């Protein structure tokens, strides 16, 4: 009898404990959800912008800006009726002003929104338009995020079918903020074939997967160099991209060679798609643009 009452008491205590831990757990979950809701802003489209395409890479200097610029121009070429925007979100090292030959300060409209600058039929916005040329940006986290907010929310894009976003290298705060704030249609991973670049590309792919951002595919840049004497293609930096593509279950969209004219035309502010319309590299960028359009249309059809 005694032991029975003891057991019942024990049971009641266990029950009460279970009840209280469940209640506490619920409270913790609710609290977590609140923190998440606070920490993760709700994704909000950019007014007037239909599809946002991120151009990203694990490493710096592999050709994100070159890809972004030529992709934007190729999208305009394959369908001139489309409105294309180019957003340079690299706060510390903006390249779009040089490559698109734009360097004015943007006009501010009556609603205090910045008007994008325009060249070759593409509307562009970059941190580079807002600072003195050559001036270093010595900012810390909060200021960077404020600048990014301006670029995301205080630009009067008008009507845009494809907004190409050139991102800073790596998986840092800027990229995460873009992903948390904007509905991204898809991302292109730019890499060169060196092992060091491929390793960080894998990391980028994993991050996109975790954050449910569809990867359109890999753009392999500086794939090979053409021998000036016999025109043999030499894979200067190795040939590991195919292996990576298999591993991360991703297709290689295009392979762009290391080519003097790409670099020279970038520096002149007349990207190769504009300056050399008959160059096979220009055809590759147009093919990339067609694949991006197909991806966007397929995605839209599935919804
Ligand atoms: N396929 C190529 N052939 C020759 N030069 C190239 C090629 N791709 C890019 N470049 C040149 O390499 C340099 C770096 O390219 P780009 O600025 O596009 O890289 P990025 O990844 O955007 O760099 P960052 O990480 O600094 O923003 C530039 O001078 C560009 O003109």
Task: Tell whether the model's pLDDT for residue 4 goes beyond 70.
Answer: no
Q: Which atom of ligand 1 is nearest to the CA of 259?
A: 3
In a domain, residue 23? The reply is no
Q: Which atom of ligand 1 is nearest to the CA of 258?
A: 3
Domain count, the chain: 1
Q: Are strands 186-191 and 49-56 parallel, antiparallel or unpaired?
A: parallel
> Which residue bears the tokens 């706060």?
91
In a domain, residue 25? The reply is no
Q: Which domain holds residue 197?
A: 48-302
User: Given ligand 1 and candidates 263, 272, 276, 282, which is best to mutate, with the most ligand atoms within 8 Å of its CB?
Assistant: 263
pLDDT in tens, 221-279: 999 999 889 989 898 888 889 999 999 999 999 999 999 999 999 999 999 999 999 99
In a domain, residue 217? The reply is yes
In a domain, residue 20? The reply is no
Kindly report the average pLDDT of the chain as a whole number: 87
Average pLDDT over residues 154-179: 93
In a domain, residue 31? The reply is no
Distance 157 CA to ligand 1 centre (A): 26
Q: Which atom of ligand 1 is nearest to the CA of 99?
A: 31
- Nearest residue CA, atom 13 of ligand 1? 61
Please tell me the distance from the alpha carbon of residue 83 to that of residue 162, in angstroms, as a whole number.
Answer: 7
Domain holding 216: CATH number?
3.40.50.300
Going from the C-alpha of 200 to that of each of 53, 142, 170, 207, 274, the distances in angstroms are 20, 26, 8, 11, 31
- Give the residue with greater pLDDT, 199 vs 288: 288
Distance 20 CA to ligand 1 centre (A): 59
pLDDT in tens, 8-59: 444 444 444 444 444 554 454 454 445 444 556 679 999 999 999 999 999 8
Please tell me the distance from the alpha carbon of residue 181 to that of residue 271, in angstroms, as a whole number.
Answer: 30
In a domain, residue 10? The reply is no
Output phi, psi for 188, to 5 deg. Answer: -110, 130
Distance 95 CA to ligand 1 centre (A): 9
Q: Which atom of ligand 1 is nearest to the CA of 221?
A: 1
Would the CB of 258 count as within 6 Å of ligand 1? yes
- Nearest residue CA, atom 1 of ligand 1? 258
DSSP-assigned states of every residue in 228-297:
TTT--EE-TT-S-HHHHHHHTT--EEEEE---HHHHHHHHHT--HHHH-TTSHHHHHHHHHHHHHHHHHH
Distance 62 CA to ligand 1 centre (A): 6
Distance 65 CA to ligand 1 centre (A): 7
- Nearest residue CA, atom 5 of ligand 1? 263
Please tell me the distance from the alpha carbon of residue 121 to that of residue 135, in angstroms, as a whole number.
Answer: 28
pLDDT in tens, 99-155: 999 999 999 999 999 999 999 999 999 999 988 777 777 777 777 888 899 999 999
Distance 113 CA to ligand 1 centre (A): 31
Burial (CB < 10 A; 0-12, 13-18, 19+), residue 294, is exposed
User: Given ligand 1 and candidates 266, 269, 288, which is best to mutate, with the most ligand atoms within 8 Å of its CB?
Assistant: 266
Record the tokens describing residue 237, joined without a space: 């930096």
Q: Which atom of ligand 1 is nearest to the CA of 257?
A: 1
- Three-state secondary structure call for residue 195: helix
In a domain, residue 32? The reply is no
In a domain, residue 12? The reply is no
Average pLDDT over residues 84-107: 94
**Where are the strands (E) in 138-256, listed by range?**
160-166, 186-191, 215-221, 225-226, 233-234, 252-256
Task: Tell whether the model's pLDDT for residue 66 goes beyond 80.
Answer: yes
Would the CB of 222 count as within 6 Å of ligand 1? yes
pLDDT over 90 for what percent of the chain?
Answer: 65
């Amino acid at each position: 009898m005694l032991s029975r009452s003891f057991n019942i008491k024990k049971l009641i205590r266990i029950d009460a404990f279970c009840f209280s831990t469940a209640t506490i757990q619920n409270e913790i979950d609710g609290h977590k959800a609140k923190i998440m809701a606070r920490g993760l802003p709700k994704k909000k489209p950019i007014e007037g912008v239909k599809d946002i395409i991120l151009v990203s890479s694990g490493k710096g200097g592999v050709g994100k800006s070159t890809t972004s610029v030529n992709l934007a121009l190729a999208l305009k070429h394959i369908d001139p009726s489309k409105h294309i925007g180019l957003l340079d979100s690299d706060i510390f090292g903006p390249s779009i002003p040089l490559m698109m030959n734009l360097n004015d300060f943007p006009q501010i409209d009556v609603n205090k929104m910045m008007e994008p600058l325009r060249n070759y039929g593409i509307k562009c916005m970059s941190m580079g338009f807002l600072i003195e040329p050559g001036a270093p940006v010595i900012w810390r986290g909060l200021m960077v995020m404020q600048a990014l907010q301006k670029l995301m929310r205080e630009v009067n894009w008008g009507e845009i079918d494809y907004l190409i976003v050139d991102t800073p290298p790596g998986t840092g705060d800027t990229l995460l903020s873009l992903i948390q704030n904007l509905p991204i249609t898809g991302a292109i991973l730019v890499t060169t074939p060196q092992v060091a670049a491929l390793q960080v590309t894998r990391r980028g792919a994993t991050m996109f997967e975790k954050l449910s951002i569809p990867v359109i595919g890999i753009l392999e840049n500086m794939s090979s160099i053409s021998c000036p004497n016999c025109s043999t293609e030499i894979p200067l930096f190795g040939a590991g991209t195919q292996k990576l593509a298999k591993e991360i279950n991703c297709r290689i969209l295009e392979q762009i060679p290391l080519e003097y004219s790409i670099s020279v035309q970038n520096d002149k502010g007349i990207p190769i798609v504009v300056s050399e319309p008959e160059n096979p590299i220009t055809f590759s960028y147009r093919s990339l643009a067609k694949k991006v359009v197909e991806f966007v249309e397929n995605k839209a059809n599935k919804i």
